[in-house]
Amino acid sequence: MNIVENITFSTEKANVFSIKKSDKIKYFAVALGKDAMLKKHTAPVPATLVVLKGEINFLIQGETINMKQFDVYEIPVNVEHEVVGVSEENLFSVAQEL
């Protein structure tokens, strides 16, 4: 399996690709084109975000966190956040502990 072969970098919306799902973990990749947005949402369980390619702005509680390739962020549970693509091609993974 190759993640990049299974996604597109759209400037209009996030493209999500499921890597693994079990009763203990949900692991997926999200691709964003430049200025594309993963709209406001919350994480109902502990989650770890890793930027694999490009650059994103992670917006949470009035703060913008600029993240680049290989940056890691622990997403807090039940806190509203959104993500915006900065580069032409942006790819990050999220692992949720179920």
| pLDDT value at residue 16 | 97
Domain limits for position 78: 4-97
Tell me the CATH number at 72.
2.60.120.10
Q: Do residues 93 and 64 touch, judged by C-beta distance below 8 A?
A: no
Alpha-carbon distance of 17 to 80, in angstroms, equals 22
Tokens, residue 30:
């999200």
What average pLDDT score do residues 52-63 get? 98
- pLDDT recorded at residue 64: 98
pLDDT value at residue 61: 96
- Give the contacts of 63 (CB within 8 A, at least 6 positions apart): none
Cβ pair 54, 90 in contact under 8 A = yes
Tally of domains within the chain: 1
pLDDT, tens only, 7-47: 999 999 999 999 999 999 999 999 999 999 999 999 999 99
Region 62-89: mean pLDDT is 98
Mean pLDDT of the chain: 97
Instruction: Identify the band that residue 97 occupies on the pLDDT scale cut at 50, 70 and 90.
Output: very high
